[in-house]
Amino acid sequence: MMNLIESICNPSSTLAKASVLALAFAVCGLAAPAAGGAANPKHTASLYWGAAIGSQITGEKAPWDMSAVNAFERVTGKGLSLIQFFSPFAECATTCQFSRFPLTPMENARKYGAIPVFSWNSSSSPPERNQSAFSLSRIIDGSYDAYIREFAEKAKSWGHPFFLRFDWEMNGNWFPWSQGANGNKPGEFVAAWRHVHDIFTSVGATNATWVWCPNVDISGDLTKLRTLYPGNRYVDWTCLDGFNWGERRGSPGWLRFNQIYRSTYQRIVQRIAPRKPFMIGEVASAERGGSKANWIKEMLRVVRTSYRKARALIWLDVNDRGANWPLESSAPSARDAFRNGIQNPAFVPNVFSGLAQSPIRPPARR
C-alpha cells in the first residue's frame, strides 16, 4: 500500500530511439482487450509499464522533476510508458490549500512520451486516518463540488488522455476514504465515486480514464470488492496494489507474485469486471527473506504470460516504511533482473506523447 506521506506529495533520449515503434502504434492504433477465455497463441499481450518515482533520487518526485525519470531510466535501460504521481484534495500542513490540477507534471510526462497516471485522493495532508472534514458523506452531499468541478474543467482544458486512479485501496482500513474508517458507511464509497465521476462527465472532462484500484486481499479479511465496485459505466480499468513485504514484523512472510496477486486478480477479472483491462497499480518487493532478483524475474514473466487481462504495470520506486522498494538502491542482481526483464518487447516504451483517444485502451497486441 502506498504510504500517505508519499501520496501527498526534458524529453528523453529514448524517445528518438522509439520513433519506429511510435509510428507503428500510430498506424495500427490501440487494440481493445478480449472479453475472456484462453489467450490467443498467435499474439502476445503488450503492456504499458512505468513507475512512481519518489524524491530519494534527486530530492524531488517525478514528474515534477524529470531528471528523476531520466535517472530511473538509466537503471532500467528503457523508456517508461507510464509515470505515476500522487496528490490529495488539500494540503493542510499550515493552512489548508486545495491542490490544483497538476498541469506542469502532466505536461512533463506527456512530452517525455509517457501516459500520466494521476492518483488523486479525497483527503488532506498531513496524513491522518480520521479526517471528518473529508468523510465520504461530505463528498456525496456536494461540499466539494465547486473544487471538483474546477479541477475537472482544468483537466478538460489540458485536453490530453491520462489515467485517473481515484481513492485507491478502498477495501482496506488505512485511508480516510475507506469504508469503516473516518465514519464512512457501507455504500458511501460507490456513491462518492459516482458523484465525482458525474461532475467530470458534466463538464466534458472525458480525457480522464478512471482506474478502480483496490488492494490485494491475501487473507480474505478486507471489505468485499463487489460492494465497492462503482459499476461498469463508472470504471474504465480495474487494478490492484500489492507488495512482497518479505521477512519483517507484521508481514505474512516472503510471498511469490502469484501468492500475492492471483486470487484477488481472478475475483476481479472473472466475477466483478470481466470486460475491463487490468492494471497493476503499485508493486514492489523487499530484499529480506528471499531473492529479490528472482522475485522480479518471475513477476515480469508471469504478468505477461499468466495474467491475460493485465495490460499495465507500475513499480513503486519510493522509500516506504523501511522497505527497500527502489531499484536504484537494490542489490545489483535485482537491478539487473528488472533491466533484463523489462527489455522484453511486450513492455512498450515512451511513445505516447501524441496519444489522443479516451478512454485509454490497452496497447496493441504484438
Cα–Cα distance, 189 to 143 (Å, whole number)? 15
> Which stretch of 36-50, 70-84, 179-193, 198-212 has the lowest confidence by average pLDDT?
36-50
Contact (Cβ atoms closer than 8 angstroms) between residue 75 and residue 339: yes
Angle at 238 between CA 155 and CA 320, to 5 degrees: 80
How do the residues of the chain divide into helix, strand and coil, expressed in percent and rounded to 5? 35, 20, 45
282: left (phi over 0), alpha (psi -120 to 50) or beta: beta
**What local confidence, expressed as pLDDT, does residue 42 receive?**
42
Cα–Cα distance, 60 to 25 (Å, whole number)? 32
At residue 270, does pLDDT exceed 90? yes
Cell reading at 220 = 480474505
Q: Counting every residue, how long is the chain?
A: 366
- 251 vs 177: which has the higher pLDDT: 177
For residue 84, give the H/E element and its range: strand 82-91
Q: Classify residue 102 by burial, with Cβ atoms within 10 Å: 0-12, 13-18, 19+.
A: buried
* Residue position matching grid coordinates 471538483: 148
Q: pLDDT band at 349, cuts 50/70/90? A: very high
- 248 vs 101: which has the higher pLDDT: 101
Alpha carbon 58 to its chain's center = 22
Q: What is the pLDDT of residues 118-169, one digit of tens each?
A: 999 999 998 889 999 999 999 999 999 999 999 999 999 999 999 999 999 9
Cα–Cα distance, 357 to 86 (Å, whole number)? 23
- Count of other CB atoms within 10 angstroms of residue 39: 13
**What local confidence, expressed as pLDDT, does residue 94 receive?**
83
At residue 201, does pLDDT exceed 70? yes
- 24 vs 78: which has the higher pLDDT: 78
Longest dimension (CA), the chain: 58
Q: pLDDT band at 366, cuts 50/70/90? A: low
Instruction: Determine the average pLDDT of the residues in 343-350.
Output: 98
**What local confidence, expressed as pLDDT, does residue 95 receive?**
86
Domains of the chain, CATH where assigned: 4-348 (3.20.20.80)
At residue 30, does pLDDT exceed 60? no
For residue 90, give the H/E element and its range: strand 82-91
Instruction: Determine the average pLDDT of the residues in 214-236.
Output: 97
- Portion of the chain with pLDDT greater than 70, in percent: 88
- Portion of the chain with pLDDT greater than 90, in percent: 82
**What local confidence, expressed as pLDDT, does residue 2 receive?**
41
Cα–Cα distance, 212 to 166 (Å, whole number)? 7
Angle between helices 292-305 and 257-267 (to 10 degrees): 30
At residue 28, does pLDDT exceed 70? no
- 319 vs 11: which has the higher pLDDT: 319
Instruction: Determine the average pLDDT of the residues in 325-341.
Output: 97
Helices (H), the chain: 4-7, 13-17, 19-28, 66-76, 103-112, 136-140, 145-158, 188-203, 257-267, 292-305, 332-342
Instruction: Determine the residue type at 167.
Output: D
**What local confidence, expressed as pLDDT, does residue 93 receive?**
82
> Which stretch of 13-17, 58-62, 169-173, 288-292 has the lowest confidence by average pLDDT?
13-17
Q: What is the mean pLDDT of the chain?
A: 89
- Count of other CB atoms within 10 angstroms of residue 263: 13
Cα–Cα distance, 114 to 52 (Å, whole number)? 12
Which residues have CB under 8 Å from 133's CB, separation 6+?
Answer: 124
Q: pLDDT band at 112, cuts 50/70/90? A: very high
